[in-house]
Structure 1
């Protein structure tokens, strides 16, 4: 990752790339290990050498997805510095770009939480909570600085996260908006959501 704004194809091992494609198309329960192995160009025993179960593929994919999301969010905040509006804008932009460029991973992550083993599900939800706390803190900091006027900062923060995640369900490259236009327009919506006051 050169910067948090730069995206290429997902950097996934072949078995996880194949699992992502299969889970996005057919869902976790509609996918067989044989299908994933075939897509990865491996035999079933060869796939099991790397990942001993279908569940381990889901968990491996989910971990790499959340690692990238959290890493990009933290890099965006670090680059933005201490000013609350700059931090808010950078975090929102990072979330928007991730859900544009990692649509399939975001989709699988949001729809297959139910398919995760309970022990790992708790870990995954912990990652999501960590991401949400970044959004909560960004909104709280703006309220404390007097630039956000929302009376319901944590409700606004949850709605903001939902808006950014939702981009993964409708954005398509080559559609009506370029990534830059989408970021620009949704930053306006995000600021409106928290009651940004231009002073």
Structure 2
């Protein structure tokens, strides 16, 4: 039986190359889109924002925006995921630097969360207000990733209890109280106020160590 030669083979079909819009290539369009979406969602809410206004705010055409995002739903999810990834990264860096001591690790975690809530206050408030507007599949994915944060804090507390550094009989309540007060910073903190971030962090670390009943 004759074999099929190279000349008889079906030609390889080239996949169409999806070109980046010129405006995105030149101007860092992703950052512009995220920045505009953050500002408009914060100002008008998810339902009050239009994809056209976001594109205009980013200085891009609609086609350039749609190159990256299918619409508002995907864009909202991307904003929330980006902020969450930043939060986790800050926690991981802080915990690596803190070493093995349970009190130092708890303090590092609290510092990372409080500083994040101040630094990304708008993103924190967006997550609080707009998470309910995520469609079920995206909401489930986001919540699953977000819930790793309280689990991380609980691991720190459990380790401290196991090693005798923390003697609280209520680790669940301590975990919820610590994370709750740290997350709430975004709702009330005023950078122009009398309380500086470092002083706020010091107070929250003190409160957290009190909640877990730290024994030096």
- TM-score exceeds 0.5: yes
Match of residue 156 from structure 2: 138
Match of residue 8 from structure 1: none
SS in structure 2 opposite 1:13?
Answer: helix
Q: Does residue 48 of structure 2 align to residue 39 of structure 1?
A: no
Structural mapping, 1:8-157, within 5 Å: 13-157=31-175
What's the offset of the Cα at 1:42? 1.8
Once residues 107 and 83 of structure 1 are traced to their aligned partners in structure 2, the CA distance between those partners, rounded to angstroms, is 32
What's the offset of the Cα at 1:172? 1.9
CA RMSD of aligned residues (A): 1.4
**TM-score (normalizing by structure 1):** 0.89
For residue 195 of structure 2, the aligned residue among 177, 180, 186 is 177
What's the offset of the Cα at 1:43? 2.5
What's the offset of the Cα at 1:147? 2.1
Once residues 167 and 42 of structure 2 are traced to their aligned partners in structure 1, the CA distance between those partners, rounded to angstroms, is 39
Is the CA contact 2:103–2:209 (under 8 Å) kept in the aligned structure 1?
A: no
Q: What 5-or-longer segments of structure 2 have no aligned partner?
A: 1-29
Runs of 4+ residues over 3 Å off in structure 1: none
What's the offset of the Cα at 1:20? 0.8
Q: Does residue 181 of structure 2 align to residue 167 of structure 1?
A: no
Q: What 5-or-longer segments of structure 1 have no aligned partner?
A: 1-11
Q: Deviations over 1:134-156 (max 9, x none)?
A: 11111111111222222110121
Match of residue 4 from structure 1: none
What's the offset of the Cα at 1:121? 0.9
What's the offset of the Cα at 1:103? 0.4
Bigger Rg, structure 1 or 2 = 2
